[in-house]
Chains A and B, each alone.
Chain A
Amino acid sequence: MSNSSDIKIVETPQGVEGTGFFATKLDSVVGLARANSLWPLPFATSCCGIEFMATMASTYDLARFGSERMSFSPRQADMLLVMGTIAKKMAPILRQVYEQMSEPRWVIAVGACASSGGVFDTYSVLQGIDKVIPVDVYVPGCPPRPEQILDGILRLQDIVKSESVRRRSSPEYQELMASYNIT
């Protein structure tokens, strides 16, 4: 049995507290709920994917951060983790997976290859997945250690917590999607 003092609970967002009530912004509540239940969609093509397997498994245990369930269906995933070299021939498939995800959706590029092409500066390799889909967090490393991947997910949680509920319908976001030709 774990000692009850070991159990960590997320911090309460800023708000007004009194006897029997607590008032805060809807943004904060929604952000809190989203950030601590990010369902990952692993898109693993090479060695960074192996590191992610360690990240999911018992030693590093991604589930501690609310990402218990790997969603292998893009339609029920919040966070796309792209891990490994993406060949140009793979790019349309990656894009299709991204398009199938429902909003809100976030993307983490794990490792040098997904972030920039890495050592593969060559005609057959996509020079970073941000050429075809928007990326929220880049995790450096070749491959990154599981701690780095976890850190990347925590940084994404920071983004998710502070994201406005109206961001996805804002003109800036529409413009970003339009720049990638995603409707």
Chain B
Amino acid sequence: MALESAVIQDKLTGAFGDNVTGFVQIKDILSFEVAADVANDAIRFLKEDALLRFNFLTDVCGVHYPDNDKERQFAVVYHMHNWMDNVRVRIKCFLDGDNPEIDTVTNLFLGANWQERETYDFYGIIFKGHPQLKRILNMDEMESFPMRKEFPLEDGGRTDKDDRFFGRSTDNALNF
């Protein structure tokens, strides 16, 4: 028997109450918000509960919402997959714009190690308790977190393009 979304919602609400909100079914994936300080417990519950059995962490990534309220400017999105029932869930945790911090889930899934490093690399989100939180894809000397919207996408060192025709405005601080 397939694992129903309503069952997942009831179990989570029963265990975490108001810390789990905003349940919405988008296509075949149940999505919801979890308060950042219980995220680790909620993911552990989803993984270890005998009925839920979300045994696989598909992805960890970040989102920047610069227009949101201060305490909801960053989001960390977790995708989990139950291989036995072939059911997926999407978990969003909103974080503070000035101080984006959340507990690591590397204690539950070792595979989260590089995914959290990548999220740190591009968004500057701090994963507390991560064993090696440093840049993974960008060069170590980079000063910005390039996926944050305040940093320009283009490189400031470009010399063969006329800015008037390409709409470049500000300079990236990291001329190479």
Contacts and interface: CB of A to CB of B under 8 A. Distances in A.
Contacts of B157: 127, 131
A121 B159 CA distance: 10
Given A124-B137, A124-B139, A127-B155, 8 more contacts: A89-B138, A116-B160, A121-B154, A121-B155, A123-B154, A126-B176, A127-B176, A131-B176
A117 B175 CA distance: 14
For chain A, the bracket of interface size reads 10 to 19
B173 to A, nearest CB: 10
A27 B54 CA distance: 74
A123 B158 contact: no
A88 B142 CA distance: 9
Interface string B137-159: 11100101010000111110111
A182 interface: no
B124 to A, nearest CB: 14
B172 to A, nearest CB: 6
A135 B142 CA distance: 25
Contact of A89 (B139, B158, B159): B139
Interface string A107-144: 00000000011000111111110011000000000000
A124 B138 contact: yes
B160 A123 contact: no
A140 B162 CA distance: 18
B160 A88 contact: no
Contacts of B27: none
Contact of A123 (B161, B166, B174): B174
Please indicate which of the listed interface residues B146, B155, B158, B174 has the most CB atoms of chain A within 10 Å of its own CB: B155
A91 interface: yes
Interface in B17-54: none
B161 A121 contact: yes
A131 B157 CA distance: 9
Given A122-B153, A123-B151, A124-B146, A117 B158 contact: yes
Interface string B7-21: 000000000000000
A88 B154 CA distance: 13
A125 B155 CA distance: 8
A122 B176 contact: no
A96 to B, nearest CB: 14
Contacts of B176: 88, 91, 126-127, 131-132
Nearest to B174: A123
Contacts of B144: 123
Given A88-B176, A127-B176, A131-B176, A121 B139 contact: no
Nearest to A117: B158
A112 to B, nearest CB: 10
A172 B161 CA distance: 29
B162 to A, nearest CB: 12
Interface in A87-111: 87-89, 91
B90 to A, nearest CB: 28
Contact of B153 (A89, A123, A126, A132): A123
A158 to B, nearest CB: 24
